[in-house]
Structure 1
């Protein structure tokens, strides 16, 4: 049933995940209705139906358009009057121009004439169809939100006063939007992605009069942990600034107040850029707005590289390709120059002069670019890497872990961490994630598992050797930790514990308010504040008294409070190239460690030197600089659209009658067991209830599911995940994915995903399902039975996932705790005389089941799932061998089928024991 009668076949409001989607579809529908009225008139059955539909669409759009500068409230009211007066021709022209301008983004580049008397000579080209040069010539456009409860005359005065301040030399152009209240301001910054600055004036009110449910859902995200109802009017402005900083910290806020400086000084103004005291200096405000946006727009290294490429230089250094000389002089590789163009070669150099900088010892534009990235991502320090997050992981591990330190590691983390443990000489405690046997996937490590290992090491007197906890957030399949809870409870056991959060797939999360609260840097900043609060000390002392004399079981079951003198020590590694705009292998290391300067900085510098090339790719560094600019200015918009795309796929598969027969989108309840979902929510979309707001679950659940990842169970098609990926999606339809399990494939949306891409994917899935229907309709009895057997093998007879067994005693210091010396095991295998090879046959299984200890001499890493199922020094269990034999993947790193499984000889293990004793 539609919320607004007369809207035809449009989905109801409850079926829209966001107001942005609703707005786009309603304008498109209004264009069709207005054109229909122009053709048919408002009389007759068809005309009356179109008129009713247009009126309903205006009603639906009215509360939404108040938050946008284009077309603006005045223009929208004018359109409504055209409809009321029966001026169908002018209405059709105006609505068509607005709808096309909204779709193409043309309003960002030029003024859009709405009257049919005005000729619009320019075609409404889509921004994406314009060449980069044409788009780069225009001045970037944005909108500012003015918060002030004023009448129409005063609003016009504010708007025109700022517009009169424009100058031809301004680097940007903006339009103002005026809203009356604190609540409207919050809805505005969460809904209007064009907003880059907020001006909070003294006349604002508290409550919004807008009661559209799809907009009010934005307020619930703030109201969950913020109470503004009891505020005094004089606090409305400062509180608005504080909440803006909390929800969208990248925005610039400006407070205009009539309070005294002494009153304002004691208030929390968030990240307010400037306070204007009781004045109407519009030029000063205008200049500050432009300067604030320019602060984020600057790209120090990219700008320096562009300047360098324009300089005439003589090249007498190590790179023949520099300035493109080796290509332009060639008779045989001209096609390379034609393909890439000239700029990439003009900007290629090995020099660090001419306004450029050294990545290894940055003091100029690279240093400035890294500092700006630290600001953008909420870090204290940020370091660029040009050879991927695999190297970033090794840098962090080597800089903070010393030989013999104990590190708690997520067993199914990326292989670079395991190799990092070898390089650092760590004693590793592998922690098991909860398994999802039905889908041949792992989830994440439960907090109880982490606490259990810490408490075991504490009881053994080894807590002083425990250096770091290493976890993947979010996992490849989208499982996201409650980062704050993990850090707080672990610090309650060991107060100087270091955390390395592998956020390779989570770089975008900083720029979505829901996501941000589960990122390492945001939590680190929050903990720095909360640990200083008197309430933390009181809560910790009360809990210590309560837990006095109690055993580990009480500690495991209690939500632990960290001591007030705990040290916040967090590192995050991000594959910028995976989720944001960057060339391949562009990554960042973010540091928020209170002891970095005093304890780690020198070691970090040495590790960075060890792993970073002395000839880094300048194009990658420039792309990291530009990628940072993008997310500070439009990351919120792009992440919002990314989530919307993923939600559209979820809804389509869950509701389409043909797709439901063969496919299933795994929901929250499929990937996160009930014991970890304290909110009780089971999915993001329900056909009966519509969209479930994710704010509550992201605030409290131990694990949540990143909605931008869609895990599709394909076992019902009779194809395993790898076959479905390669033979069907890629070879037949050109759709690329890179993660599968035995019976699932993973679709990941990103900030470049379009609605057209989503539509194509759904069309492909429908075509596959229809083809299967036709195939089964014509199948013989035996063919149908064969199909059912294949489905059963993929859906019902799935091999159980094995846990980590243990390190062999030769690589352990004691039997009381599980840590193992992975470095010794790794290098012991360098001598081939210490190794043997065994066939994966029934004889091997029989030996294992009889209790014989066989020890892996290698990392065994099948793709998928892409993490080690065996590491050097690990005892091979029957469960691991059963899983390995059941694997139907073509790529297993560390295993050669022609030789067999590489294990240590018994003599090698005996000799090692003798040496240790």
Structure 2
């Protein structure tokens, strides 16, 4: 039997142990006299013992049934046990227990046993009542527990929209374990009789409880405070869940307590019908999809279409003799729901007042923002909207240079003066990490010394990066606000929308951090800490300030925006994105300009199907986001373990760890890898709480240089063309595998199978290779893994585009539009005229964005001086796609005359 250390999550452990139990019992049934029968029986006992720690947190099959199976095994009723275990294992695998009662008795028929959840048609699944589980926390006797569950479940009615079962646990610690383990739980009933500690002792379960409770000192709490404290802890762990507190304390006592996300308090009464109705109402509040429902209802209405869009109601297709295949491919509903009208129960995205407005409000609740806005043309547009709404011409914006190109273009449109921040380089893998906090603070302090801090408007960072590097959002915001108390933060979370629905990830999201800081800044403890630090740092030098964890003033303003590509990591049609706002000055200062920017960049004919998918995607993550994100992480961890543990794969591949992608000085926890063949899994929680940067485990960066293929060739010629495996990103010698909420264990198994095939074929090819062929292979590997070009830092803007030489900000807008006149530009060849200009010490200035793919970030922007390091990097690039560079002409640069003219004009 596999040990606990072999598993990243208890969910995987549970499923695999039930499967192992089924196989072991079946083997015993087939041959009770086999020589190894004693070992098999011992294995079954161990499996039952292991499952006994896990099963109390689930409604199916239930502890009564589980204990009955154990007793049957102890009395050698192996056939009965085999039948029951098989039913349980299949029910868990197929999800059948969510649709119907599964009898575990051998003499009962189950005609539906062969039906997997996935085998049902979408129509059949849509008509099935959704199932969930209710967690009751009460240290009651077995008889009292049965009484509680019977009375509550007895309230269920056929006409209810949902159905549920109950799970009863005795303690606060067990409740924390349950909600971090059982993804079926949607509601929690906290009763007065709960205790504190769990009687279970298990490595994974204890880890869950410790991580969830954090710095709470339980030993200092009174028993009557356990219930309210559990409500507060749920706000940290699973804020999407509904909590109901049953208490015998007075109204006055409860009114003074912080009850976190508690929906309602019941005062010492056993009104089970009222509790039942509240539970259903709470789930219904998350299940509601105002716009999707309105669109479905609209599609059913008979209408006469006398407006734009011939495709509306599908008329232009059904009447066609030539495009019937399109109608057959997409089906009727998508066209019945197409319209350009905003009536008939629908709404306008540009000025919502009905179902779109409601849908955005529900999304705001789900993602923890103060306002949320939908976008139907991607996060590129969201980024431009936020920048245009907040940045005025001449404002200074600090931005990481290797951010998405939409930010660079947005800053051009806004007329910002840009200070580019350099991320730490990962030269060995031709990629950048993220911007160290010290670099950001240094730029802010320099701008303050130059008297320009009042013009600094925004800090723009990507969290997490494409390669999975995640910032310590709270520390960045706190220390930057300590220098610039009204700084606006734009966090590009295009690849991080899913993070809200994992307790580990959530602490590093923009909205969660903004809400936390708004509370912290108002506390007396924070005010005292700030006052003490101000005295200590009264005459401190910049070096001291850079080395100190700065505390923001209590009067600092929390102004945070996050843009998310819902379609990239959650369920949404392509280009479905959201803007989340948590800005204390939004209503008074930004709202009007934001709506103007939103109108500027948003189509007057938005795609209603995309809006509906955003609405439904929000419903999904509120109800099952925790489960899906957990499975996503499990899939990625399985890839890590498989590659790291396979001797053949290790000959040609290596999964890059946190130690590879994050320098040691930014990993205060000391964690270097999430999985080690000697020690097993590392607890992520510690590094996600402490470190300056952490690595998102759902991104698996695989070094492939050992195969002799560069990343682009490995992606296109091997993975895609030969095996049909699609990926997004490569670098010179790596490929990035991204798991998502749709990734299955079968997909992971196929990927590992493919990698083993590739490694096997390489082994065979090299075994038969001639000396020359082997030498050629070794040279290709050396070129990819050792002879890598160093990544260049941002050089500087030319003086023609800088207000002065005190600080590095540059006028990217002027440079961008100066290049519109061809007379201002020329082309220089990398190995010819450009090199000659460098040798003559001429200043050569880029007239374009130059973006090689990979790595996919601009190594040059308009107005930037081309350094020798940048030229060396470009000459060493062996990629076929470089945006902004024409191989037939060369690099587009400004003529010396155009630059001299601009400099002369500035002096006047």
TM-score by length of 2: 0.99
Aligned equivalents of 2:217, 2:383: Cα separation in 1: 41
* 1:493 counterpart = 2:486: no
**1:384–1:586: 8 Å Cα contact kept in structure 2?**
yes
1:32 counterpart (12, 23, 39)? 23
* Structure 1 equivalent of residue 200 of structure 2: 210
* Structure 2 equivalent of residue 819 of structure 1: 809
Aligned equivalents of 2:664, 2:114: Cα separation in 1: 51
Query: Which sits farther off after the overlay, 768-777 or 834-843?
Result: 834-843
Aligned equivalents of 2:115, 2:846: Cα separation in 1: 61
Aligned equivalents of 2:462, 2:676: Cα separation in 1: 29
* Structure 2 equivalent of residue 482 of structure 1: 472
**1:143–1:196: 8 Å Cα contact kept in structure 2?**
yes
Map 1:619-768 onto structure 2 (within 5 A): 619-768=609-758
**1:201–1:237: 8 Å Cα contact kept in structure 2?**
yes
1:722 Cα shift? 0.3
1:44 Cα shift? 4.2
Aligned equivalents of 1:225, 1:835: Cα separation in 2: 60
* 1:276 counterpart = 2:271: no
* Structure 2 equivalent of residue 18 of structure 1: 9
1:258 Cα shift? 0.7
**1:471–1:501: 8 Å Cα contact kept in structure 2?**
yes
Aligned equivalents of 1:740, 1:457: Cα separation in 2: 36
Aligned equivalents of 1:375, 1:285: Cα separation in 2: 23
Aligned equivalents of 1:393, 1:841: Cα separation in 2: 37
1:887 Cα shift? 1.4
**2:173–2:196: 8 Å Cα contact kept in structure 1?**
yes
**1:645–1:758: 8 Å Cα contact kept in structure 2?**
yes
Q: Secondary structure at the match of 1:591?
A: strand
1:11 Cα shift? 2.1
Query: Which sits farther off after the overlay, 852-861 or 83-92?
Result: 83-92
Map 1:200-279 onto structure 2 (within 5 A): 200-279=190-269
Aligned equivalents of 1:635, 1:650: Cα separation in 2: 23
1:543 counterpart (530, 533, 548)? 533
Aligned equivalents of 2:894, 2:408: Cα separation in 1: 19
1:91 counterpart (81, 86, 99)? 81
* Structure 2 equivalent of residue 462 of structure 1: 452
Map 1:256-405 onto structure 2 (within 5 A): 256-405=246-395
**2:213–2:233: 8 Å Cα contact kept in structure 1?**
no
2:871 counterpart (876, 881, 891)? 881
**1:104–1:124: 8 Å Cα contact kept in structure 2?**
no
Aligned equivalents of 1:833, 1:44: Cα separation in 2: 90
**1:508–1:579: 8 Å Cα contact kept in structure 2?**
yes
- 1:547-574, Cα deviation, whole Å (9 max, x unpaired): 1112111110000000000000000000
* 1:172 counterpart = 2:162: yes
Misfit runs of 4+, over 4 Å:
none
1:48 Cα shift? 2.3
Aligned equivalents of 1:332, 1:890: Cα separation in 2: 39
* Structure 2 equivalent of residue 451 of structure 1: 441
Map 1:859-870 onto structure 2 (within 5 A): 859-870=849-860
- 1:351-379, Cα deviation, whole Å (9 max, x unpaired): 00000000000000000000000000000
1:39 Cα shift? 1.5
**1:849–1:878: 8 Å Cα contact kept in structure 2?**
no
* Structure 1 equivalent of residue 108 of structure 2: 118
Aligned equivalents of 1:44, 1:386: Cα separation in 2: 64
* Structure 1 equivalent of residue 36 of structure 2: 46
1:429 Cα shift? 0.2
Aligned equivalents of 1:845, 1:640: Cα separation in 2: 52
**1:252–1:292: 8 Å Cα contact kept in structure 2?**
yes
Query: Which sits farther off after the overlay, 523-532 or 258-267?
Result: 258-267
Aligned equivalents of 2:80, 2:452: Cα separation in 1: 80
* 1:522 counterpart = 2:512: yes
Aligned equivalents of 1:129, 1:896: Cα separation in 2: 52
1:844 counterpart (834, 846, 851)? 834
1:538 Cα shift? 1.0
* 1:808 counterpart = 2:798: yes
Aligned equivalents of 2:38, 2:152: Cα separation in 1: 43
1:239 Cα shift? 0.5
Structure 1 residues 496 and 104, CA, compared in 2 at 3 Å: closer, same or farther?
same
* Structure 2 equivalent of residue 7 of structure 1: none
Q: Which runs of 5+ in 1 are unaligned?
A: 1-9
Q: Secondary structure at the match of 2:688?
A: helix
* 1:786 counterpart = 2:776: yes
Q: Secondary structure at the match of 1:198?
A: strand
1:123 Cα shift? 3.4
1:224 Cα shift? 3.5
1:38 Cα shift? 1.8
Aligned equivalents of 1:538, 1:122: Cα separation in 2: 65
Aligned equivalents of 2:606, 2:292: Cα separation in 1: 15
1:55 Cα shift? 1.2
1:846 Cα shift? 3.8
Aligned equivalents of 1:118, 1:245: Cα separation in 2: 43
Q: Secondary structure at the match of 2:562?
A: strand
- 1:651-682, Cα deviation, whole Å (9 max, x unpaired): 11111010011000000110000000001111
**1:100–1:124: 8 Å Cα contact kept in structure 2?**
no
Q: Secondary structure at the match of 1:370?
A: helix
* Structure 2 equivalent of residue 570 of structure 1: 560
- 1:154-179, Cα deviation, whole Å (9 max, x unpaired): 11101110111011110000000000
Q: Secondary structure at the match of 2:168?
A: strand
Q: Secondary structure at the match of 2:521?
A: helix
**1:837–1:900: 8 Å Cα contact kept in structure 2?**
yes
Q: Secondary structure at the match of 2:189?
A: strand
1:844 Cα shift? 2.0
1:83 Cα shift? 0.6
* 1:156 counterpart = 2:142: no
CA RMSD of aligned residues (A): 0.8
Report the number of matched residues.
907
Aligned equivalents of 1:352, 1:410: Cα separation in 2: 40
1:268 Cα shift? 1.2
**1:856–1:904: 8 Å Cα contact kept in structure 2?**
yes
Aligned equivalents of 1:820, 1:11: Cα separation in 2: 59
1:88 Cα shift? 1.4
1:793 Cα shift? 0.1
Aligned equivalents of 1:571, 1:495: Cα separation in 2: 16
1:451 Cα shift? 0.2
Structure 1 residues 329 and 228, CA, compared in 2 at 3 Å: closer, same or farther?
same
Aligned equivalents of 1:706, 1:159: Cα separation in 2: 40
TM-score by length of 1: 0.98
1:843 Cα shift? 4.3
Q: Secondary structure at the match of 1:273?
A: strand
Aligned equivalents of 1:849, 1:622: Cα separation in 2: 59
- 1:681-734, Cα deviation, whole Å (9 max, x unpaired): 111011111101010100010000000000000000000000000000000000
Aligned equivalents of 1:224, 1:255: Cα separation in 2: 22
* Structure 1 equivalent of residue 583 of structure 2: 593
